[in-house]
Amino acid sequence: MSQANVEIVRALFEGRNAGLSFGSFARYFDPDDLREVGNQVVAIGTVNGRGRASGIALEFRSAIVVQFGSDHRITRARIYPDVNEALKAVGLEE
């Protein structure tokens, strides 16, 4: 199994490739575990934020499942607030 898709996802979050990002979500999501499962990559990490009005800090675990076509282009990305649901979606259990 090639690591190419994992490296693409890693680069998106590290901001190394201009023009490639998940938009503003990447500012709040810090992936610490990238797993390749077939043509998908599961990025598991922590979402950090702060309420605009309240100033209350927010931190929780989340995951993103990124699907790739045969040409290593992203065809779909889905955010899962529940890490276990993301793992189940790709056929893994934790």
25 domain-assigned: yes
Give me the CATH number covering residue 79: 3.10.450.50
**Contact at 8 Å (CB) between 46 and 25?**
no
Domain that holds residue 24: 4-89
pTM: 0.84
Is 26 buried (19+), middle (13-18) or exposed (0-12) by CB count in 10 A? middle
94 domain-assigned: no
Picking from 51, 70, 62, 50, the residue whose alpha carbon sits closest to that of residue 87 is 62
Side-chain half-sphere CA neighbours of 18 within 13 A: 0
pLDDT in 10s for each residue of the chain, 94 residues:
568 999 988 888 877 445 555 666 667 888 999 999 999 999 999 999 888 899 999 999 999 999 999 898 999 999 999 999 999 999 997 6
Cα(54)–Cα(22) distance, rounded to whole angstroms?
26
Place of tokens 């190394």: 16
Q: What is the pLDDT of residue 5?
A: 93
49 domain-assigned: yes
How many domains does the chain fold into? Answer: 1
